[in-house]
Amino acid sequence: MRIAVLGTGPVGQAVAAGLAGLGHQVTVGTRDVEATMARTEPDMFGNPPFRQWRQQHPGIGAGTLADAAAGAELVVNATNGTGSVAALEAAGEENLAGKVLIDIANLLDFSRGMPPSLLVSDTDSLAEQIQRRFPAARVVKTLNTVNAYLMVDPGQLAGGDHTVFVCGDDAAAKAQVTGLLRSFGWSDVIDLGDITTARGPEMYVSLWLRIYGLGSPMFNIKVIR
């Protein structure tokens, strides 16, 4: 499958590499390819610049947000949540129409330091904002409740015996995303319901951040039922 991963940060890199490892044709989208490739300094988390990662993954393409989305059958939003809607606008509404759009971003406010707070909660979510802005896209919220490495390799923790969620209005889109999650190794995928249920996984991130503050990001929850 041709997949566009929008976002060049550690989440986008991990997801792009994971998808390419499954045999998908992956293109990473960024606002300005030349500027992104010219960066030589580590990111805010100390990760190597994108150009170094790209050298290690020569089979993964890179292009503008619009070019990546236009050529894709499925699109992954791995951009910073505060800029996700603008990034998707740059990708082009026409390039998203009719396509499954996997939203793995979190709408976090770092303006007052760590840990960040949520910019929306209870009555709205980033996934809903994206679905409202791009009504012809088939938005599915998933994977925002775990760190980037577990997203694509859940077997690293407890043999993969833990839970991930999907939320969205389109049943066929959720089924397709569930299949993709299972190809990563996710065995426990819970469909929470329509796109408004994305509020739950997005608000859970506040708890995730507190647990992360105790040590390692390599953890998740298991829903016993």
Q: Model confidence over 51-87: pLDDT tens digits?
A: 899 999 999 999 999 999 999 999 999 999 999 999 9
Which CATH number do you get for residue 95? 3.40.50.720
Domain assignment of residue 220, yes or no: no
Residue 111 structural domain = 2-212
Domain assignment of residue 51, yes or no: yes
Domain assignment of residue 43, yes or no: yes
The total number of structural domains in the chain stands at 1
Cα–Cα distance for residue pair 172/99, rounded to 1 Å: 11
Cα–Cα distance for residue pair 87/80, rounded to 1 Å: 9
The runs of H, that is alpha helices, within 57-196 are 65-70, 84-91, 93-96, 126-133, 148-152, 171-184
Distances (CA, A) of 29 to 5, 144, 158: 6, 19, 33
CA atoms within 13 A on the CB side of 83: 12
Domain assignment of residue 224, yes or no: no
pTM exceeds cut of 0.85: yes
pLDDT digit string (tens) for the chain, length 225 residues: 999 999 999 999 999 999 999 999 999 999 999 989 888 888 777 788 898 999 999 999 999 999 999 999 999 999 999 999 999 999 999 999 999 999 999 998 777 777 777 888 889 999 999 999 999 999 999 999 999 999 999 999 999 999 999 999 999 999 999 999 999 999 999 999 999 999 999 999 999 999 998 889 999 999 999
